């Protein structure tokens, strides 16, 4: 019996796998979720990516899937542990696709100078900002949040703002048409989920499941 190819999956910033739990992954894949690690103090991005990649077995072919910040991480992992296929959900293929909002953070380096206490997702201000960006109509945002470590949140937002990378032709990009975090107008995605906000893997899971079947049946 042929072994199933492993699909290593990394969820979105601070999110656990509830965001992706309703997606029906193709039968020919063995899905392996990789949990977020808390970055070490002043850890550089490349070293963090190496730690996130430690669970990946390169002795057999594998693919990668990442959602949001996880999409950026899997593209960096591919540079040190090349995958057969890379699928990103609600994420960008290069720094050229950053929104003006994120580019503003990159140029001004504002995230670096903000105090850690501002990255408390339980605070009303931070929650309201996050909800407005992710999905203004969905009151269940916090049910998807797993990692609330303020240093991790601040560090991760700094990495998204600072990220630079050329387009990898292997990357297959799926975006929501109403995503505010990574607006579709700045990218040329392979697939667009009509009416999908940044939370489309949870709210439009049937469409995502169908697309993944198409991608991995090829």
Domain boundaries, the chain: 5-217
Query: What are the two backbone dihedrals, phi and then psi, of residue 117, each rounded to the nearest 5 degrees?
Result: -60, -20
Q: Given this model, what pLDDT does residue 14 score?
A: 74
Check residue 71 and give its pLDDT: 97
| Residue 93, burial from CB neighbour count under 10 angstroms (0-12, 13-18, 19+) | buried
CB atoms near residue 116 (< 10 Å): 13
Q: Which CATH superfamily is domain 5-217 in?
A: Alpha/Beta hydrolase fold, catalytic domain (3.40.50.1820)
Q: Which residues pair with 86 in a beta bridge?
A: 64, 171
Strand partners, 87: 65, 172
- Token pair listed for 102: 């994120």
108: helix, coil or strand? Answer: helix
pLDDT of residue 112: 58
pTM of the model: 0.86
Alpha-helical runs (H) found in the chain: 45-52, 69-80, 100-108, 110-113, 124-134, 150-162, 200-203, 205-217
Which residues of the chain register pLDDT less than 50?
Answer: 104-107, 113, 124-129, 131
Contact 20, 67 (CB under 8 A): yes
């Amino acid at each position: 019996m042929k072994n199933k190819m492993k699909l290593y999956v990394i969820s979105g910033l601070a999110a656990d796998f509830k965001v992706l739990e309703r997606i029906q992954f193709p039968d020919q894949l063995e899905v392996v979720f990789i949990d977020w690690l808390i970055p070490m103090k002043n850890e550089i991005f490349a070293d963090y990516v190496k730690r996130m990649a430690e669970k990946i077995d390169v002795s057999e072919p594998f693919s990668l899937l990442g959602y949001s910040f996880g999409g950026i991480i899997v593209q960096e992992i591919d540079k040190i542990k090349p995958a057969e296929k890379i699928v990103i959900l609600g994420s960008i293929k290069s720094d050229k696709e950053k929104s003006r909002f994120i580019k503003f953070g990159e140029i001004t380096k504002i995230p670096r100078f903000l105090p850690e206490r501002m990255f408390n997702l339980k605070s009303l201000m931070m929650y309201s900002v996050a909800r407005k960006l992710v999905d203004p109509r969905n009151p269940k945002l916090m049910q998807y949040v797993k990692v609330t470590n303020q240093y991790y949140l601040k560090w991760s937002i700094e990495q998204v703002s600072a990220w630079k990378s050329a387009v990898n032709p292997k990357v297959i990009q799926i975006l929501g048409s109403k995503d505010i975090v990574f607006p579709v107008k700045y990218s040329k995605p392979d697939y667009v989920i009509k009416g999908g906000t940044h939370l489309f893997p949870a709210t439009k899971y049937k469409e995502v499941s169908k697309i993944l079947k198409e991608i991995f049946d090829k």
